[in-house]
Every structure is written in C-alpha cells, then in structure tokens.
Amino acid sequence: MDGTLNENDLSRVVSADKAHVWHHLVQHKPFETGDPRIIIEGKGMRVWDQNGKEYIDAVSGAVWTVNVGYGRERIANAVRDQIMKMCYFAQAAGSIPAALFAEKLIEKMPGMSRVYYTNSGSEANEKAFKMVRQIAHKKYGGKKTKILYRERDYHGSTLATMSAGGQDERNMQYGPFAPDFVRVPHCMEYRKHELGLDHLSGREFGIAAANQIEEIILREGPETVGALCLEPVTAGGGVIEAPEGYWDRVQEICKQYDILLHIDEVVCGVGRTGTEWFGYQHYGIKPDFVTMAKGVASGYAAIACMVTTEEVFELFKSNPSDKLDHFRDISTFGGCTAGPAAALENMAIIEEEGLLENCTAMGARMKGNLNALMEKHDIIGDVRGKGLFLGIELVKDRTTKEPVDEKHVMAVVAECGALGVIIGAANRSIPGRNNVLAFSPALIATADDIDAITDAVDQALTKVFG
C-alpha cells in the first residue's frame, strides 16, 4: 500500500466513516465495538484495507463488478481526457463516447440495435419495465402489462425492481409492492425436488421447468402478460445456470404467447461468463431487452445500459403527431460522459488482453479446484457456475440437501478474509438460507491467484466444519 496516508489520516477516515456513513447491506451494530472494513487501495486482483492488510479480491469489488481489475491507468486517462473536454450534457443530446460505445457494444450483440444509457442496474431494468408497460398501452389496448420474474432472480433495489424480486429475504418489510409483477418458479436442477420434478433430469427437466412458466402464463391469461424477465445465470440467488433445453423452450413459449424477453445481464454481462461477451449468447437466446451495469465499465464510472432491438425502438416512433408516442423518460446521469468513456476502454482492454479466453480457462481451473474440494469436504453439496462466476452450495447432508446454518457460511467468509481472500455469500431466496459461497474474481486472474483462492476456501472449510 502506498504511504500517502499516515496513521492519523487513516484513523480520521475510520472515525468519519463510523460517525457519518451508512453502509449498504450491513447491520451497523457491530461497528459500535469494531471498525468497518475500509478499502484504501486496489491494484490488479488485490486490495488493501485501512490496517494495510492485503487481500486477493475473489469477488471483484464484493459484487462481481471490477472485471478488468483495479488501477487501470488507461481507463483513468480516458475518463480524465473526456471530462475535461465535455463532462456532461443530458442524453436528450448526444456525446462522442456515448455514440462510440453504443456502436462498439452493438457490434458485440448481433440482433440488438439501440442503447439507452442510465446509471444503475436497477434503473436499467426499470426502463425496460416502463417500456413494456408503454408497449401494452400502445399496442394492446392497455392489456399485457404483467411482467413475469423468476424465483431466486434479482433485478434491483428500487420498488418496481423489488416487485420483480425473487429473493424473499431482500423484500421483507419493504412492501407493498407494485402491481402486475408475477413470480414463476426457479429452474435449479440441484433443488428440482422443490419443483416436484425430481423424477426428471437433464434436458427433460429443463423443458419441464420452462413449462412451469407456461402454466403461470395460462393461469394469468396470455393476453395480460407483456414480458418475462430472467437472469441468464442467476447470481445472488445462488449462482444457477439453467438446465439444458430450458432456454429453447422459454423462447418458444414467449413466441407463442407474444411475450417480450428481457434478459438481465447486470452480473453476467461484459465477459463474466467467459468466451462470449454476454451470458445469453451461450444459449442461443434472442432477447428483446438486455440490461447491463456492473462490468460495463468495471466500476471505474457509474454506467448502465438498456439495449433493445430495432423492432422495439420502432414502436416508439410510429406516430410522431402523437405527443405520447415516444419514450418519455430521462436519467440525469445517463448523460455523464465518464461512463461510456470508461466503458470503451474497458472493452478494449478485454479484447486486447484476451480476457474472455482467460476467463474461460481460469474458470475451468477454479471449477476443477472446487470439484476437488468437494471430494474432500462432505459439506459441499454442489459446485456450479460459468466462467469466473462460480458458487458452491453448502449442505448438512448430501441426500437431504438441508442447507447448513447461515452463521457457519458467514464464518467461512470471515475465515477466508482472515486468510487474506475476500469471498461472498449468495442465496437470499429464503431468509436465513444464505448457504452458497460465491466467487467472481477479475477476468485477469492467474492460475496462482485461483489456486490461492481455493486453498483459502479449503482451509476455511476445514476450520469451520472440521
């Protein structure tokens, strides 16, 4: 860690934080007796806290974000140059980086056409929800306003995105929610008994899981359902890849009932799953809306995008004499040029350094290491994920699949922290059942980094579970 801050400066930072900062997600009571972790510096895969302790960050900024790693000078320079030239103008007008990044992004997304800039994943999802509602009014006489979302998926922290939230623990005490959001079942093979489908496996299970969505559509009335919103690989709900056969059947169902498909790439987007730029591209999905945020600029600037097809775009300019015809929406900071300037460099880095390929190779290595840990630790019930987006589910018994107590999962997370590796926990579908350890190292990870992460997990599991 560099020496620009002395001990006095750092203790002032800690006191100011404790006195005035309201941290996200966490309970503050423990900070009355202890200190919050304050991250002072980052370089590559590593970060340093206020005590000078070094960590390998195995979760890219805690929430799968810093895909190209910390301390990228070329992103900083691009943002600096851009904001000195032109920092902000509302997106009612255009800007150089907004045009160039949209062009580059669309090159990576065949079939898609238009980029709507905003500044968080929640907001990008809200924009798509608003478009679906407006399309219902424009095209279907005010019907087709319902938006289906899936158990275990997460789409954001605002009230409408929480209304589409499949993780109950996050929603408790925040209701009532917005109307016309309807939940469909998850598609997780490891927990297929919850769906009454434990007699099926592989492709047959995938098709049957998708058919459960059709049952909900028929129950609600297809003429009332406008869109289906899904994560390509569920992130915070437990790192869940859909089974074989699922996506083809989902798309058939959407086509049959004239339902728009909204893919939430906030976590998977921009390389996280390896080989492809986006998660949906692994599965032959042809979406109508794609939303993305975290990895778009790897956290160097706040930027999120909602991307649609030309067909959707055309619906919003078919009747120019009608004042209500267009999408009457704005996001103030969607006009910040720092976002697309950073996003352009971020994408260039991924291309020039071959990070999609590295992600695939290192993801395979990490999955191999985690599978080896499964042989050693009975507590691991399942290893899953794609690219450098992986999770292991901890269960008391591999036959009953009863989740381990959440406090033990958090003890493993804490133990890894003490060993100098920051990992995460996922699965907020049922309160108190946060039993998945989650990993999303930067796409620059080396074999040594991956081995160091899985060695720490091995040691932590031994310490907590024996």
DSSP 309: -
Q: Which amino acid is at 3?
A: G
| Beta carbon nearer to ligand PMP, 385 or 464 | 385
| Beta carbon nearer to ligand PMP, 78 or 268 | 268
- The residue whose Cβ lies closest to ligand PMP is 121
| Beta carbon nearer to ligand PMP, 157 or 211 | 157
CB of 293 to ligand PMP, least distance (A): 5
Residue 245 in tokens: 């056969």
* DSSP code string of 428-449: -SSTT---EEEE---TT--HHH
Give the long-range contacts of residues 57-60, CB within 8 A, separation 24 or more.
57/422, 57/441, 57/442, 58/416, 58/421, 58/422, 58/423, 58/424, 58/439, 58/440, 58/441, 58/453, 59/422, 59/423, 59/424, 59/438, 59/439, 59/440, 59/441, 60/298, 60/440, 60/441, 60/442
Counting Cα atoms < 13 Å in the Cβ hemisphere of 240 gives 27
| Beta carbon nearer to ligand PMP, 46 or 155 | 155
Query: Nearest to residue 443, comparing CAs of 295, 264, 235?
Result: 295
Binding stretches for ligand PMP (CB under 6 A): 63, 120-122, 125, 154-157, 231, 235-236, 264, 266-267, 293
CB of 223 to ligand PMP, least distance (A): 28
CB of 5 to ligand PMP, least distance (A): 29
CB of 260 to ligand PMP, least distance (A): 17
| Beta carbon nearer to ligand PMP, 231 or 415 | 231
- All residues at 6 or more sequence positions from 236 whose CB lies less than 8 Å from its CB, including other chains: 154, 167, 267, 426, 427, 428, 438
CB of 165 to ligand PMP, least distance (A): 10
| Beta carbon nearer to ligand PMP, 144 or 299 | 299
Q: At what angle do helices 96-107 and 338-352 cross, to 10 degrees?
A: 40
CB of 150 to ligand PMP, least distance (A): 11
| Beta carbon nearer to ligand PMP, 157 or 171 | 157
CB of 85 to ligand PMP, least distance (A): 27
